[in-house]
Structure 1
Amino acid sequence: MSVITAGRTAVVAAGPVAARPVPVGRVYRFELVKLLSQWRIRLLLLACWTAPGLFTAAVAQQGTLPSDTLFGRWMHATGWAGPLVVLGFAGSWALPLLTSVVAGDVFAVEDRLGTWRQLLVTVRSPRRIFAAKALASTTVIVLLVAGLAASGTVGGLAAVGDQPLVGVDGHLLRPSDAAVSVLLAWACALAPTLALAALGLLGSVLLGRSPMGLLVPALAAVAMQLAQLLPLPVALRLALPGYAFVSWNGLFADPARLDELLIAVAVSLVWAAAATTAAWLLFVRRDFTTGSEDGAGRRALAFAVLPLAGLLALTSGAVWPATPSTGSGITQEKVQRSVATAFAHLYRLQTEQLHRPAVTEDQLRATAACQRGDGQVDPEGPGNDWRCVVTWHLPGTDAPGTAVYQLDVASDGRLTADGDGPKDVNGYFLVHTPTGDAPNPLWQFDGQVGLLASPAHPLDPTKE
């Protein structure tokens, strides 16, 4: 009897054995299965892996092209233009909505269902719950982005073929180079997508069961798009994570303009880390003992918003030394250089298509003289009142050739040139290409002005 009593005393003295938290890997698999079991997530996966391919294949068979989208005018010429058109659309609309549906609801759903207590009792670690939910939502988002890229590429190649791609400066990329650049462009687009997803996590933690948490990534994306339309200083423009949805076009120049792209990707990753950290701090400090807790209040909202505002100021200050001035970064010299470079590349392409004697860009020595508002406006900044006169020289001729273009230069540096004569140079007429008849490549073309200070292009005849 004494032995039994002593044994019981020993057990009581030792106390209950502490339950160990469930490993993150098991919680991650559980959260991933929960996400993939939702019908809306399954529909999104199906749409992302099929719709872009059907879209690019359908557009390739149409007579009109989405020429207002970068690379849209080349969708009849090469299959590699399709995934880039999809990327341009996805960066503006699809990816913000996808991150809203996935990351913006991953925590709020537990509030609506009232399952926090059961989940905490099972996992026994708020930190591991947060890590598992963040990793699961990131996995689903990566699958959605991969589906958009793969579907758009397969659809474009199946409908048009593996042809060379015309870059943003008019030079031709071989199919292998185009494939690498397209892959890198979609990989870089993951950075701002993760930044929006992190904002979605933060909104989901802050707002609890409120449906407003779903709108945080979408509203943030719209706000950044509106900001990009404004004549902001270059430093502030690059300090916003949404600029990475635009800067990938530097991969399709020769040489590639990586300065803006690398800065934009780095800024996006910093925003993703900062928003995720803020969401984690708020989540682990949350009181789950009361069922009336519905996310964070005003104090938590200020705790999340103020650090992000400070981050914007910090990233702007960090980017400032790389910018040439406090202006838009669009100058007369840059516009002239971009137009002359694109014209020289496309003139060579036109010569090949018309089966004329071969000519090189160095032989052409193309230059451009650009003004705004017939010389009544300072030649800098965005606007649709740019006018350029391009001059070039053909081997064996003394008189130079001239062509006039009307330009629309956007605030992000994208320019659209519309030929204004002479008709036999930059007017509308069809030329025969390996993929069929296509408009004259010098009739209308896109270009890109680098917003950051950069050395003169190798084809720029004004360089020293």
Structure 2
Amino acid sequence: MSTVTAGKAAAGPAAGPATRRVPVGRVYRFELVKLVSQWRIRLLVLACWALPGLFVAAVAQQGTLPSDTLFGRWMHATGWAGPLVVLGFAGSWALPLLTSVVAGDVFAAEDRLGTWRHLLVAVRSPRRIFLAKTLAGATVLALLVAGLVASSTVGGLAAVGNRPLVGVDGHQLAPSDAAASVLLAWACALAPTLALAALGLLGSVALGRSPMGLLVPALSAVAMQLAQMLPLPVALRLALPGYAFVSWNGLFADPARLTELLIAVAVSLVWAVVATTAARVLFLRRDFTNGSEDGGGRRALAFGAAPLAGLLALTFGAVAVATPSTGSGITQAKVQRTVTTVFAHLYRLQTEQLHRPTVTEADLRVTADCGRGDGQVDPEGPGNDWRCTVTWHLPGTAAPGTAIYQLDVASDGRVMADGDGPKEVNGYFLVHTGAGDAPNPLWQFDGQVDLLASPTG
């Protein structure tokens, strides 16, 4: 045998075909099938595509409405209020629970089943595994959110109809404008949903086979909701990713209030990127050859929590520097302006109901004088002791009209006004029209203080 032949023979075993890694698309399809094959995921898909529509249709037929929810008092008036009521509930409860079930267990399940070695032998790339699991979880969440939107919209339109929607400042949105705003509001809610899903991925990687990873998104959402109920500075409120579940209401004002919404969506997306990156780093640093290791323990938990704490401080500082938002954002001037705007729009709506001569906001010259605690408390900040006296003028009438409202101003800027007389204006929940009794738009109404706006507008 020649030297060349001997050299080829010696190199033969090492020169075999290179080991090929499984394409990401194939791994993604495999992970997606694994998720969808779980009975709990199938049950969630069925629930999201059926229950919201049934709920909206049932509530629309009831005599009482969820008036404590934004747009709840308009569910008898238009089918577009239903999807917004469902969005408010979903942001508080449904979406955090969905992210917990989908993303909070996607890695921990492999630890409990002991299937990591089989998966690594088949795929041969931890990076591809992480990417495929992340994309599969995001796909399932998008399917669930799409079901919530479609079901609640169909239920509302079928039960009530395609009618104009009253916005947070009292102006009416045409059905086409309402449809576009509703879809955009749900699209904006995807950003905090992805942030919670990323926290679920981080918890699932850091906590290993422990089922506590399931609780990370839900507990994070509850903590952020409790924080939003406190009189926090606006900058800190916007630095929390959950605020995007609230700020979508700015889409239903005229003109639209986009500053808070854009900041909240951007913060949520940054949180999603940082939390996902931390989960990826922890996952790739893991020693899969050690069967007793199912995560990084305390070190992994600290490594995952430290970037998020730094991100919270960074976003708080950035928002505080960029905007005048170190206080609560609720001042006497803003409350008066909000009540004035909403009352003027809704007075025109009541005028149309009663078939009175048409007036404009300029004709009415509405003003509001608001205070807290009968003048014993500084007129700023949230509280349920606000009281407003609204004054307006009708063309050809010398004496002005007045009405009194008791206000509950929430820490997130929502204003809930309850009419306190006179009866013919706002003291009763019905008005007598030529076609029969109809809901009185001035009896109770909602408004929204723009927390980032200047006190003088």
TM range (shorter): over 0.9
Change (3 A) 1:438 1:105: farther
CA offsets per residue over residues 92-124 of structure 1, 9 Å max, x none? Answer: 000000000000011011001100001001111
CA offsets per residue over residues 189-209 of structure 1, 9 Å max, x none? Answer: 000000000000000000111
CA distance in 1, matches of 2:186, 2:231: 27
Matches within 5 A, 1:4-403: 7-12=8-13, 14-403=14-403
Per the TM alignment, residue 302 of structure 1 is displaced from its structure 2 partner at its CA by 1.1
CA distance in 2, matches of 1:432, 1:23: 68
CA distance in 2, matches of 1:283, 1:331: 47
CA offsets per residue over residues 60-86 of structure 1, 9 Å max, x none? Answer: 000000000000000000000000000
TM-score (normalised: structure 1): 0.96
CA offsets per residue over residues 125-177 of structure 1, 9 Å max, x none? Answer: 00010000000000000110010011000000000000000000100000000
Structure 2: stretches of 5+ with no match in the other structure: none
Change (3 A) 1:312 1:158: same
Contact 2:66–2:72 (CA<8 Å) still a contact in 1? Answer: yes
Contact 1:323–1:329 (CA<8 Å) still a contact in 2? Answer: no
Helix, strand or coil at the partner of 1:105 = coil
Partner residue in 2 for 1:460: none
CA distance in 1, matches of 2:182, 2:432: 26
CA distance in 2, matches of 1:166, 1:65: 16
CA distance in 1, matches of 2:189, 2:46: 20
CA distance in 1, matches of 2:250, 2:110: 42
Give the counterpart letter for 2:86 in structure 1. Answer: V
Give the counterpart letter for 1:376 in structure 2. Answer: Q
Structure 1: stretches of 5+ with no match in the other structure: 458-464
Per the TM alignment, residue 10 of structure 1 is displaced from its structure 2 partner at its CA by 3.4
TM-score (normalised: structure 2): 0.97
Give the counterpart letter for 1:11 in structure 2. Answer: G
Q: CA RMSD in A?
A: 1.6
Contact 2:354–2:433 (CA<8 Å) still a contact in 1? Answer: no
Partner residue in 2 for 1:418: 418
Change (3 A) 1:16 1:254: same
Per the TM alignment, residue 297 of structure 1 is displaced from its structure 2 partner at its CA by 1.4
Per the TM alignment, residue 6 of structure 1 is displaced from its structure 2 partner at its CA by 5.8
Partner residue in 1 for 2:406: 406
Helix, strand or coil at the partner of 1:130 = helix
Helix, strand or coil at the partner of 1:378 = coil
CA distance in 2, matches of 1:260, 1:346: 25
Change (3 A) 1:396 1:311: same
CA distance in 2, matches of 1:456, 1:130: 50
Deviation larger for 325-334 or 400-409: 325-334
Per the TM alignment, residue 5 of structure 1 is displaced from its structure 2 partner at its CA by 5.6
Helix, strand or coil at the partner of 1:335 = helix
Contact 1:206–1:297 (CA<8 Å) still a contact in 2? Answer: yes
User: Which stretches of structure 1, 4 residues or longer, exceed 4 Å deviation after superposition?
Assistant: 1-7, 432-437, 454-457
Give the counterpart letter for 1:147 in structure 2. Answer: G
Provide the aligned length of Structure 1 versus Structure 2.
456
Q: What is the percentage of aligned positions where both structures have the same residue?
A: 84
